[in-house]
Amino acid sequence: MNATRIVIIEDELPIRRGVVDALRASGYETADASDGVRGLEEAVRHGVDLVLLDLLLPKRDGLEVLAELRKVRPTLPVIILTARGTEDDRVRGLKMGADDYVVKPFSARELLARIEAVLRRTGGRPEAAQGARLGRAVIDFARREVRWSNEVRIELSETEVALLGFLVTNRTRAVSRDELLTHVWGIEPRGLETRTIDMHIARLRTKLRDPADNESPEAIVTVRSHGYMAGPELLPLAEQKV
């Protein structure tokens, strides 16, 4: 079995070296870069399982790298490493698709624990999340569209793609509303009452209904007292370009 491969994009050499050493000592394979341009090149390579991304980078800002990375690898796990500790920066990074946020200075022990938690939660999220299939429909996450045999195309929003990607990645279990708020919207769910998720689910069900088949398979299933999960026929396009 291949070792988990992690890309470290960090411009401060002592931090980058320290992270690389800690990861290698723990059995991870690593690649690293000191600027945003080179970092993005490393992050999109085949076989990368997780990215550690600084926000303040030369040549290309970390949030720009994250935005570009999400176009190519919509569900590749990303943990932001940064000295920026404000709530606005944390929320912005999470809303753009980061999975966790570690503020400098951090210990190797804390970072390794965060990495393990993200990998457990995401299952490594391989190329399966490039898209999905539902009956005749192909759901293209990169192009943000649903198409039926190239006859009909319906556009999806970034949030709808992120929501579908999370459900497809975790298709073997029910996902709670709180988990969706945390990982798709980047919002702390504690004490929050909102119908946002239900509205998005309803819209997605409509968009994913086959216009030529009134009995098309159900895209998203409601699991009473738990939340939602991908329908049994909503399947990932594993390592296939859609």
pLDDT confidence tier of residue 240, bands split at 50, 70 and 90: very low
Rounded-to-integer distance, Cα 97 and Cα 87, Å: 16
Phi and psi at residue 31, to the nearest 5°: -140, 150
Rounded-to-integer distance, Cα 110 and Cα 107, Å: 5
Segment 2-16 shows an average pLDDT of 90
Segment 104-130 shows an average pLDDT of 74
- Tally of domains within the chain: 2
Q: Domain boundary residue among 103, 122, 141?
A: 122
145-148, strands of its sheet edge to edge: 152-155, 145-148, 137-140, 131-134, 234-236
Residue written as token pair 């045999």: 149
Query: Would residue 42 count as lying in a domain?
Result: yes
Q: Is the pLDDT of residue 105 over 90?
A: no
Rounded-to-integer distance, Cα 2 and Cα 5, Å: 9
Query: Would residue 192 count as lying in a domain?
Result: yes
Segment 75-81 shows an average pLDDT of 86
| Average of per-residue pLDDT values in the chain | 83
More confident residue, 170 or 221: 221
Please give the residue range of the domain that contains residue 154.
127-236
pLDDT confidence tier of residue 242, bands split at 50, 70 and 90: very low
Segment 11-33 shows an average pLDDT of 94
More confident residue, 204 or 92: 204
Q: Is the pLDDT of residue 168 over 80?
A: yes
Looking at residue 193, its pLDDT comes to: 66
Looking at residue 217, its pLDDT comes to: 86
Sign of CA dihedral 205, 195, 177, 241: positive
Segment 94-111 shows an average pLDDT of 85
Which of 120-134, 140-154, 162-176 has the highest average model confidence (pLDDT)?
Answer: 162-176
Looking at residue 85, its pLDDT comes to: 60
The verdict on pTM exceeding 0.85 is: no
Tokens of 117: 């938690």
204 and 98 in a common domain: no
More confident residue, 7 or 70: 7
Q: Domain boundary residue among 98, 122, 146?
A: 122
Phi and psi at residue 5, to the nearest 5°: -105, 125
Q: Domain boundary residue among 72, 103, 122?
A: 122
45 and 77 in a common domain: yes
Read off the pLDDT of residues 218-237 as tens digits, 9 standing for 90 and up.
999 999 888 999 999 998 87
Q: Is the pLDDT of residue 20 over 50?
A: yes
The CATH number of residue 21's host domain is: 3.40.50.2300
Q: Which helix (H) or strand (E) holds 205?
A: helix 196-207
